[in-house]
Amino acid sequence: MATFHEALRHKKRIAHTLLKRPEVTAIGVGYVDPHKPALGASVIVYTQKKIVPSSMNGLRTVATQAGASSAVPVRFVASGTFKCHALLTHPKIFKPATFRSRIRPVPGGVSIGKANPAATGTAGLIVTKNNQLYVLSNNHVLIKDNSPLYSATLQPGPADGGTLASDQLGRAYQFVPLQNNAVNYQDSAIAVASNHLLNPRYQVTSSGSLITVPGHVLSYSVGAQLVKSGRTTGFVRGTVEANHVDVRVSYGGRLGTLLFRNQSVIRGNNGPVSLPGDSGSVWLRASDRYAAALNFAGTPDGLRSISNPIALIMSTYGIRVAVPVAGGFKAGGVRGAAVPRDASAVQPLSQIQKKRVRAQFVRSAKA
């Protein structure tokens, strides 16, 4: 039986070689059998849906050769390609629904987007810094062309009928650029709006019920139970299937396919959890509602979410979860520090890796 420490070491040995194969979309560590955790850990290799037997045999051979004589099991999962999950189309027929309608003040978990080029995703969380409220979502939901160009923020997003004339909430404020020639660690951005337009709460039901998110966690383990609200799938439940994931995510256009590291794969417990329009939704720990991860991509069937561990995002912008109090709001708490010896859990980036993650400001006015 392999430990997570052994599985992580083995994953690091074989990841570079396997990710060169076009059949492989991601590689991380998880249980050898999710239904039987006592059987120990394994490397999980995510692949395209349809692979001919000869190619699969080739993958197994590569995994064996690259890993020398390691006894760590390697589990192959036919997930399909991971794609960013903003909704780019603008339907001609607008049908309001609770997670997709115009809401003021705006809580986490509802439709948001930008007008040009049109993209619709989810307002993941309402966060705070220096007594100002912001909306946390993804770069590809809020930012214009992955650049510091001015971009208006709409709620609801364009796919749900949002227009510049009637539904501008605020503007994009800060983001981490996506890089197609280097490793990425997050797809994130924050938008700024007047405090009275934002509600430091989180929507969880189709009838509009709200909860308080008390803060965020610094780490979580494989097997952790999570919940989230997204513009498309609504309120869903999932399980952390893999951590320490290296993944290739398809963005299309000029960005193409980007490499991310230190990600989590979260599998839906009862159906899809990440479909177009769910980009930017934030996973909460089911036990205490603390924020855990930021969803930005998924498989075509929506059954698996690729998410950024949220601790890095919060430290990148110097933000905290906004928590309502009488007459206003305060900064939320922090829980769940990473245990260095627990290789099943999300670990902080090294100092060298952190230096590669730089947030940029967006222009405050149109050029």
- 264 DSSP assignment: E
- Confirm if 238 and 265 have CB atoms less than 8 A apart: no
3-class secondary structure per residue, 101-136: CCCCCEEECEEEEEECCEEEEEECEEEEECCEEEEE
Provide the pLDDT confidence category of residue 94 given band limits of 50, 70 and 90.
low
CA dihedral 61, 66, 69, 71 (to 10 degrees): -80
Average pLDDT over residues 199-217: 95
Q: Of 342, 256, 283, 270, whose CA–CA distance to 84 is shortest?
A: 256
**Predicted model pTM:** 0.96
Classify the C-alpha dihedral 72-73-74-75 as positive or negative: negative
Average pLDDT over residues 177-186: 96
How do residues 113-145 score in pLDDT, each as one tens digit?
Answer: 999 999 999 999 999 999 999 999 999 999 999
Q: What percent of the chain has pLDDT over 90?
A: 86
Percentage of the chain beyond pLDDT 70 is 96
d(CA 348, CA 314): 12
Single-letter amino acid code for the residue at 67 = G
Nearest to 110 by CA among 229, 191, 12: 229
**Residue-level pLDDT at 57:** 87
Confidence of residue 340 (pLDDT cuts 50, 70, 90): confident
Mean pLDDT of the 81-104 span? 82
Question: What is the residue extent of each domain of the chain?
Answer: 4-80, 82-367
Same fold, 4-80 and 82-367: no
* Digit-coded pLDDT (tens) for 345-356: 999 999 999 989
Residue 324 pLDDT: 98
Q: Is residue 311 classed exposed, middle or buried when 0-12, 13-18 and 19+ CB atoms within 10 A define those classes?
A: buried
Instruction: Name the DSSP letter for residue 221.
Output: B
Identify the CA nearest to 260 among candidates 349, 142, 145, 149: 349
Q: Which CATH superfamily is domain 82-367 in?
A: Trypsin-like serine proteases (2.40.10.10)
pLDDT at 93 over 60: no
Q: How confident is the model at residue 53 (pLDDT cuts 50, 70, 90)?
A: confident
* Structure confidence at residue 54 (pLDDT): 82
Query: Which phi-psi region, left, alpha or beta, contains residue 263 (left: φ > 0; alpha: ψ -120 to 50)?
Result: beta
Edge-to-edge strand list for the sheet holding 106-108: 106-108, 198-203, 210-211
pLDDT at res. 224: 98
Q: Are 166 and 158 in contact (CB under 8 A)?
A: no
Fold of 4-80: GMP Synthetase; Chain A, domain 3 (3.30.300)
The identity of residue 216, as a single letter, is H
Q: Give CA–CA dist 87/242, Å, rounded.
A: 26
Q: Beta strand pairing status for 125-129 and 210-211?
A: unpaired
- 57 or 93: which leads in pLDDT: 57
Query: Which band of pLDDT confidence, cut at 50, 70 and 90, is reported for residue 67?
Result: low
Are 295 and 332 in contact by the 8 Å Cβ rule? The answer is: no
Q: How far apart are CA 32 and CA 73, in angstroms?
A: 7
Structure confidence at residue 175 (pLDDT) = 98
